Amino acid sequence: EDQVTQSPEALRLQEGESSSLNCSYTVSGLRGLFWYRQDPGKGPEFLFTLYSAGEEKEKERLKATLTKKESFLHITAPKPEDSATYLCAVRWSGGSYIPTFGRGTSLIVHP
Amino acid sequence: NAGVTQTPKFQVLKTGQSMTLQCAQDMNHEYMSWYRQDPGMGLRLIHYSVGAGITDQGEVPNGYNVSRSTTEDFPLRLLSAAPSQTSVYFCASSYSQSETYRGRKGYTFGSGTRLTVV
């Protein structure tokens, strides 16, 4: 059983069509939930860190939120340049403080 | 530009050959790590280092060796390449595990090495 699960695996949106990506985790003792963006052929790029339930972070059209067992990455009025794979990683006290990554959500935004 | 540099970008090996993937960072980061990324599997940790002279195994260490003689460099060695090691390899670094915990910048990743073993 995966400790970090991302859904959906793939998402296709029209430009301007807002939606959310989900990251759920089963571990206890959260010490940080991280969101990364990965463009094809490139390494992941850090977006946000969340630490406690209720916390929110924003960057341009992206907003990350955290509850006790999941995080959402909300994309408001997306543009084609938001197309990428979005990765979630969870760091917890029982995992040697090394983040475990989910499998990612591939987002395609059509013009 | 400051960052994580990986070489080579592409490599094809024959089964049984050995090679070293290079990773260098110029940000004075203490923590460095190697991941492999396979379709549908996400990023899996191979080895990591919390400072010069200190290394440890991650989730999938078999068939790989590492050493950390300087703060800047963290090479990954494939001892005898196998087709199962065909993957994209990423090197990542951060100031320290505690800095990452305070959420300054997360990990900085290199651009990856695409390795094919035939």
Residue B110 with chain A: CB contacts under 8 Å: 43
**Contact criterion met (CB < 8 Å) for A43 and B40:** no
Quick one: which of A49, A52, A61, A67 has its CA closest to A19?
A61
Q: Is the confidence at residue B21, as pLDDT, over 80?
A: yes
Report the residue from B43, B101, B108 with minimal CB separation from A31: B101
Report the residue from B97, B105, B111 with minimal CB separation from A42: B111
Report the mean per-residue pLDDT for chain B: 92
Q: How far is B80 from chain A (nearest CA, A)?
A: 26
Report whether B32 contacts B46 (CB < 8 A). Answer: no
**Contact criterion met (CB < 8 Å) for B110 and A31:** no
Max distance between CA atoms of chain B, in angstroms, equals: 43
Report whether A29 contacts A93 (CB < 8 A). Answer: yes
Q: Is the confidence at residue A66, as pLDDT, over 60?
A: yes
Report the residue from B45, B97, B111 with minimal CB separation from A43: B111
Instruction: Specify which residues B77 forms β-bridges with.
Output: B20, B65
**Contact criterion met (CB < 8 Å) for B110 and A97:** no
Q: Which chain A residue lies closest to B106 (C-alpha atoms)?
A: A46
A94 phi and psi, to 5 degrees?
-90, 0
- CA–CA distance, B93 with B32 (Å, rounded to integer): 4
Share of chain B above pLDDT 70, in %: 92
- CA–CA distance, B32 with B23 (Å, rounded to integer): 9
Rounded to the nearest 10°, the torsion over CA B3, B105, B72, B20 is -70
pLDDT tier at B102, thresholds 50, 70, 90: low
Average pLDDT over residues A15-21: 98
